[in-house]
Structure 1
Amino acid sequence: MIYSIFKNLVSIRNGSRILPTCAKSVYFSRIISLFVVRYESGIAGKDQSFSISYLINTVGLSPQSALSVSKKIHFETSEQPDTVISFLMNHSFSKPQIRSIIQKWPASLLCNPEKTLLPKLQFFYSKRISGVRLLRVLSSNPDVLKRSLDNRIVPNFNAFKEVTRCNDEQVFLAYKNCSNVLWCDFGTKIAPKLAILKECGVPESTVMAEVVDHPRAFAVNHDNFRITVEEVKKLGFNPSKHNFLTALQAFLQISKSSREKKFNNLKKWGWSNEVVLSAFEKYPRFMMFSEQKITAVMSYFVHTMGWKASDIANRPVLLSYSLERRIIPRLCYSKSTEKEFLRRFVIPYEDPYLLKLYEQKLKTLKK
């Protein structure tokens, strides 16, 4: 009966729930949302109902997120979840960070924090990794906290550091960009790909810098990696130049069908196959931008600024610039960095109004 009452209080418009005027109270709307979630989930069982309530009221999840998380874990008392949350708070994780961990790793609420979490945190503390960065990275990607410290984290941390000759902070930043760094077998998953690059002539120092800065490129299938390396070589990229690795990263990150779509999109602007490949060779990174971004920048330069499409092909780095923050506010001086642009065109005039006008223009475009 009570489910019918609450369900009737909520009208549906275009697939969205619309709460009545009386539900403007945050507390009341939360109650209604919780009952709707329970109703739509087929009236959750007692344990799941308690889990949902806890996830909403204590963790701060939305009713929908709470329902999703509760399907992966069940608890009938708050004793264990309270222990985990207290542990994380005592180690300086903020409420939003704790919420992020629980959403990404629901089972964390039921772990023994002293056995599962503490040894890993102590390991990272021992590496003198910035506390702020440590908490931010672990909350956005808690995957490593699930792994064995002795069998995965320590040996992979040490292997990555030894091979790349980077410092502890850089190893952790590599993990931030690709969680495989600290839990996959470095010797069988990453090392063979480093060997492939060295064999084809990429300088060792460049290879090591690349695996630290862009480790995700080394997490792909081994055969696919080798085939893509050969494909980039056939396009004429010189392995001894840095743009070889940028082109490789672009091809590994984007499927062949997506690349073809982008090539065809650029051909609509009058770029021939040769022009597209020439632009790609000059600035391979533009291939990683979305079609929407490429089209928006091309359209502005050609239709608004009156440039020729070939002008952008000759300087494809222009495709990387932000329309709102760089191209439109500065017009034809978009190649300058923010500091250089201010030094050349704003600060010399010692006019506070000019600087204020420029800052207001940036804020308007960001909205």
Structure 2
Amino acid sequence: MLQLQKHLLPFHRSASPIHLSLHRALLSAAAAASPAHFAVEDYLVTTCGLTEEQAAKAAKFISHCKSPSNADAVLAFLAGPALGLSKADIALLVSHDPRILNCSVEKTLRVRVDGFLSHGFTAAQIRSFVRRVPLVFRSFNINEKLGFWMPFLGSPEKFLLVVRRNFYLVTSDLDKVIKTNIQLLRESGLSVRDIAKMCVANPRLLTSNPNSVKAILVRADELGVPRNSLMFRQAVGSVAGLGRETMAAKLKFMGETLGWSDAEVSRAVKMSPVLLRCSREKLQRVSEFLTKVVGVDAKYILGRPTILMYSLERRLAPRHYVMKVLLEKGLMRKDQSFYTMVTVGDELFRSRYINSHKDVLPGLADAYTSACKGEIPA
């Protein structure tokens, strides 16, 4: 354009109307021949839905683009029938991975969607994956990762459940981290099925550094739960989120709260390793309810430590209310075990302790339902 202006300058100086007209025509033609400027940041804000701050950070990854044509095609595919991403989904995806706007729809994006579909995912499940880990949608090694996780976990639903709890599942090295941890757990006597179940409940167990997993297994051993036993899986899951000092502090608090000796605490945890997941507040509230309201002693609890894990509001208090009413009406033996009443399922509990007395106590069912909602009758 500059060179053109230099050539036209003498004509412009002559101020001839014909020359001026020619000058304007040539400038107009030169401008038409130049590609329109692609305002990247504006496009990211107005078309992709990013904030100005997000657009400023993302712009550098697509600043080389001379036109929005490829980005438009990508957005149309993302919002189209194959995926059906919402505007919010697209904004989330582009803000985390702006390079996706540079992708080929046919060679990259459609291939990725087809890869998910081939492993049993629906479009809705692919959208869930995008929302949880937008950063890796474009780069996720579908055949390698899903080829491993689908047989291991069994379904896209479980895979997405685990990913929602720990997105490192899709970024961790399969051989150096995931498979190494699985092998360590198998060597401790856990089956692949056990490990898969543990992964759903505690996915960090598989994505942690293998040395950390070794330390977890040592702490589980220290609880005295035999390997190859059904309880060992509970032991591993219970200590997985606890450091050595935290675990020691929990055991000490348990002994002080319930008046148990170290040996008794060890015995209780060996019987029910899940006690280690119980918060201090819950342990104190439940133990006080059992000893002061129900009237059982610490020895009674020691023989049935799992009773400490039940919800005070949704199970212990409502069922104790029913027990108290039945005792007052002479409809229950005085030596009835509260623990038995607590451990049975809700349907059996209602059938055995409520419905069987509906003629004598017609309001008991409603009172129990209210109690389960936290409305304990006076």
The interval holding the TM-score normalised by the smaller chain is 0.5 to 0.7
Letter in 2 for 1:322: S
Query: C-alpha distance in 2, partners of 1:356/1:302?
Result: 27
- Corresponding position of 1:339: 347
Show the 5 A alignment for 1:51-66.
none
- Corresponding position of 1:128: 120
Structure 1 268/192 Cα, relative in aligned 2: closer, same or farther at 3 Å? same
Structure 1 173/118 Cα, relative in aligned 2: closer, same or farther at 3 Å? farther
Which of 251, 259, 264 is 2:239 aligned to? 251
Structure 1 195/76 Cα, relative in aligned 2: closer, same or farther at 3 Å? closer
- Corresponding position of 1:318: 307
Which of 264, 268, 275 is 2:264 aligned to? 275
Please give the per-residue CA displacement for 1:134-172, whole angstroms capped at 9, x wherever unaligned.
656764xx12x311556534311212335x373444433
So what's the TM-score if we normalise by structure 2? 0.63
Show the 5 A alignment for 1:69-108.
74=56, 98=88, 102=92, 107-108=95-96
Contact 2:225–2:270 (CA<8 Å) still a contact in 1? yes
Unaligned runs of 5+ in 1: 1-46, 60-65
- Number of aligned residues: 296
- Corresponding position of 1:236: 224
Is 1:206 paired with 2:194?
Answer: yes
Structure 1 112/161 Cα, relative in aligned 2: closer, same or farther at 3 Å? closer
- Corresponding position of 2:167: 179
So what's the TM-score if we normalise by structure 1? 0.65
Which of 348, 359, 362 is 2:372 aligned to? 362
Shift of 1:175: 2.6
Letter in 1 for 2:373: K
Please give the per-residue CA displacement for 1:67-114, whole angstroms capped at 9, x wherever unaligned.
xx876554899x99xx9799569756789xx58x95xx7824957478
Query: C-alpha distance in 1, partners of 2:319/2:80?
Result: 45
Identity among equivalent positions (%) equals: 18
Contact 2:94–2:100 (CA<8 Å) still a contact in 1? no
Between structure 1 and structure 2, the one with the greater Rg is 2
Please give the per-residue CA displacement for 1:35-62, whole angstroms capped at 9, x wherever unaligned.
xxxxxxxxxxxx9xx98xx9xxx99xxx
Unaligned runs of 5+ in 2: 1-40, 60-67, 321-337
Shift of 1:248: 1.5
Shift of 1:314: 1.9
Please give the per-residue CA displacement for 1:211-237, whole angstroms capped at 9, x wherever unaligned.
455432122221121122133224322
Shift of 1:324: 1.0
Query: C-alpha distance in 1, partners of 2:182/2:97?
Result: 38
Structure 1 308/129 Cα, relative in aligned 2: closer, same or farther at 3 Å? farther
